[in-house]
Amino acid sequence: MTKALIVIDIQNDFCPGGALAVAGGDEIVPGVNALMAEYPAVILTQDWHPAGHSSFASAHPGAAPFSTTEMPYGTQVLWPDHCVQGSPGAAFHAALDTDRADLIIRKGFNPAIDSYSAFFENDQTTPTGLEGYLRTRGITELTMVGLATDFCVNFSATDAARLGFSVTVRQDLCRGIDMEGSLDAALAGLREAGVAIA
């Protein structure tokens, strides 16, 4: 049984001062760096959108950030422009120890589909390839940390549990966006999916 630490989207745009800042997002960095030492495999995810991405409110005339729209794959929150490929906002937080990463998996690069989860795009069918990577390495046990608890951590952990991985979310090393009760809903959904919340 091999375990991996999955570090979700600790990028400048999700930290204070960023385009889609999560309160206290930067506070978790020292604890995440320290936790890396306890894992034989460390994987980072990076939200990585082309300019004009369909999840950006700016791509939908008249739409306000944090409103929702119907996409062919379901309801999508429209976000402020964030994590544009190659921009400073898409870079990892400067203090994150990226040297320890075995793999950096990018997601959200498909212009027409957002990807909260590290495993599947928001159509819940297009794979990112992470499942195959983990399985071929014999990794069965995942600990997840990062941003944001109620979106990318939530979707990644739920998908991982559904795929049969043993999953723990370290809530102390996550921070949430918490729009309209989304944090409580996410925590309930995670427990329902069989994810351990530590």
Kindly state the smallest distance separating residue 132's Cβ from ligand VGL, in Å: 22
Q: Show the tokens assigned to 124.
A: 């819940």
Kindly state the smallest distance separating residue 37's Cβ from ligand VGL, in Å: 24
* Contacts to Zn ion from residues 95-154, by CB under 5 A: 108
Note whether 7 binds ligand VGL by CB under 6 A: no
Q: Are 109 and 54 in contact (CB under 8 A)?
A: no
Binding segment toward Zn ion, per CB under 5 A, in 46-54, 84-92, 160-168, 169-177: 46-54
Note whether 81 binds Zn ion by CB under 5 A: no
Sheet holding 41-47, edge to edge: 103-107, 41-47, 2-8, 139-147, 166-175, 196-197
45/48 Cα distance (integer angstroms): 9
Q: Show the tokens assigned to 34.
A: 């320290």
DSSP output for 4-53 = EEEEE--BGGGSTTSTTPPTTGGGGHHHHHHHHTT-SEEEEEEE-BPTT-
120 binds, among Zn ion, ligand VGL, none (CB under 5 to 8 A by kind): none
Tell me how many degrees the CA angle 8-103-53 measures, rounded to the nearest 5: 55
Which of 148, 160, 169, 173 binds ligand VGL (CB under 6 A)? It is 148
What are the C-alpha distances in Å from 189 to residues 39, 192, 198? Answer: 26, 5, 15
Note whether 47 binds Zn ion by CB under 5 A: yes
* Positions marked active-site: 9, 107, 152
Which of 152, 169, 173, 186 binds ligand VGL (CB under 6 A)? It is 152
Binding segment toward ligand VGL, per CB under 6 A, in 131-139, 143-151, 161-169, 189-197: 143-151
Kindly state the smallest distance separating residue 117's Cβ from ligand VGL, in Å: 10
Binding segment toward ligand VGL, per CB under 6 A, in 33-41, 96-104, 145-153, 182-190: 145-153
Residues engaged in binding ligand VGL (CB under 6 A): 9, 14, 47, 79, 116, 147-148, 151-152
